[in-house]
Amino acid sequence: MTAFDGLAVGSDVNHEPRCERAMEITKVETSVLEAPAEAVVLGLLADEPLGRAAAALNEACDGLLEELIEREEIATAAEKVTPLLGLRGMAPRQVVCVGLGPRAALDPGVAFRAVGAAARQLSSKERASVAVFLPDDLPPALQEAALAGSMTGCVGQDLYRAEKKRHPFGQLLVDAPQETVASGRALGEGVNLTRRLVNEPADRIYPETFAAEVRRVAEKFHLDCEVWGRERLTAERCGSLLAVARGSAKEPQLAMLHYRGGEGDVPALALIGKGVTFDSGGLSLKPSEGMKTMKSDMAGAATVLGALQAIAALQLPINVSGYMGLVENMTGPDAYRLGDVLTARNGVTIEVHNTDAEGRLVLADALCVAAEAQPEHMIDLATLTGACVVALGTNVAGLMTNDQDWCDEVAAAARDVGEPVWQLPMYDEFDEQIKSGVADIRNTGEGRWGGAITAAKLLERFVDKRSWTHIDIAGPAFADKPLSWCDGGGTGALVRTLVEVARRQSRA
């Protein structure tokens, strides 16, 4: 693997993002006692005899491990971490136990978060190498998720702190087959790419620098890439996206990336992401409290890029295209106003009732462009509404669709990888709420009730009746406080789900 190869033309991002510097990951060939690592993560299932590694360790310390589990000093409940102190007589100087919970409830989500939590603890100081030992008989999907978790847990949001809180491991040793190591690495790197882009502040990641990241991924993985700037967007009649960008000094971009692993030219899957690199609210200005984390409003686009990178690294036999609508929502002298009427690419006119409902306006044109390539299925991802967070909380992404079978497929993929999602209804009566007296539609509903759904109803006007599911990630994309398995900031939520969707589609 190459080291991280530079960033962002025209940006002054000057630190070396360690989260993407390829971590050395090697298959461990020894038993846990001889593992050439300074620390070991030991996964423990609840209510089961010790696995091979745990049993070896238990024997080496005269049954202490079993005794401590018995006395409930070591928790085997999912995601519970217990460091063991004072171990002697084995190569690793430090062992961290992590509960995997009962086998029946162990899914890739639990494996990802549990091993992530252990890795996060161990990463509080520098470590040259860490080995991960799980029960022997876990299926590849669980091993892969655990590896991804150990890669993300040790990477933090402290990109610009001199004294880092998290220290990515120099080397990671895993007890898994080579194929699983490769796929787990692809997932972990995809999730970490998304997280880093979300964690970069808006003065460093803005539409042009984000587009430079898209080009970098394209070059690295030999993907076709096209970026439309202001001039081209104007020629292409993307009046809705362009309006949002008008209050900003930053040039808007629509970045498109095409991975062709399948047959023909038509994408089986189009992924469309909201990339508002900063959302001030525009003239409908947000209060400071609500604006503070709005560098994360490009998480949808970052999720698309992270997933596409992973899909390309996995070389899945499917065509997938990504469309990232990149703008900054500001209040400059030419900012779009309340009452303005915008004409989107498909000719639909939109009356602006609130400039803070900008994400749907950016997505409108991006969805039109994506739909024109006639993909079999579409998924858009967006930190679209606070209303979705009110409805579902901060952990659960909202699904809305015009095609129930496709939504079921997306939900099944999310379930398979253990990422929580929940569907919200798209009853016709919500369409009434976005009617306008002046234009075809307006960009907000009446009042705030059902706000996640009225937003999705607007998006639906731009998918040309193609099979589409909208994922509102306003809750899970960004953690205001640290989670046990992930530092605060960007979480990379839904990257693993998108990869699973592509995997399932490539088998269909």
Residue closest to 308 by CA, chosen among 425, 155, 193, 437: 193
Distance CA 48, CA 102 (A): 8
Of the residues 43, 108, 262, 359, which one makes contact with Zn ion according to CB under 5 A? 359
Q: Are 483 and 491 in contact (CB under 8 A)?
A: yes
Of the residues 74, 198, 257, 387, which one makes contact with ligand BES according to CB under 6 A? 387
Q: Which residues are catalytic?
A: 286, 360
> Which region among 15-23, 35-43, 358-366, 486-494 touches Mn ion (by CB under 5 A)?
358-366
> Which region among 220-228, 297-305, 391-399, 444-452 touches Zn ion (by CB under 5 A)?
297-305
Q: Are 53 and 30 in contact (CB under 8 A)?
A: no
Question: Does 214 contact ligand BES by CB under 6 A?
Answer: no
Which of Mn ion, ligand BES, Zn ion, none binds 385 (CB below 5-8 Å, type-dependent)? ligand BES
Q: Are 214 and 331 in contact (CB under 8 A)?
A: no
Chain residues 411-450 in contact with Mn ion, contact rule CB under 5 A: none
Question: Does 279 contact Mn ion by CB under 5 A?
Answer: yes
Which of ligand BES, Mn ion, Zn ion, none binds 81 (CB below 5-8 Å, type-dependent)? none
Q: Are 337 and 289 in contact (CB under 8 A)?
A: no
Question: Does 279 contact Zn ion by CB under 5 A?
Answer: yes
Binding mask 466-505 for ligand BES (x = CB under 6 A): --------x-------------------------------
Of the residues 123, 209, 277, 444, which one makes contact with ligand BES according to CB under 6 A? 444
Distance between alpha carbon 11 and the CA centroid of its chain, in Å? Answer: 23
Of the residues 144, 189, 213, 297, which one makes contact with ligand BES according to CB under 6 A? 297
- Cβ closest to ligand BES, residue 54 vs residue 362: 362
Question: Does 279 contact ligand BES by CB under 6 A?
Answer: yes
Distance CA 421, CA 416 (A): 11
Name the minimum Å distance from CB 357 to ligand BES.
4
CA distances, 182 to each of 23, 144, 176, 178, 232 (Å)? 12, 8, 10, 6, 39
Sheet holding 441-442, edge to edge: 341-343, 349-351, 441-442
Q: Are 368 and 449 in contact (CB under 8 A)?
A: no
Of the residues 208, 297, 328, 419, which one makes contact with Zn ion according to CB under 5 A? 297
- Cβ closest to Zn ion, residue 52 vs residue 286: 286
Q: Are 431 and 439 in contact (CB under 8 A)?
A: no
Question: Does 188 contact ligand BES by CB under 6 A?
Answer: no
Residue closest to 413 by CA, chosen among 476, 291, 506: 506
Sheet holding 171-174, edge to edge: 24-27, 171-174, 129-133, 39-45, 94-101, 81-84
Q: Which residues bind ligand BES (CB under 6 A)?
A: 279, 297, 354, 356-359, 383-387, 444, 451, 474
Q: Which residues bind Mn ion (CB under 5 A)?
A: 279, 356, 358
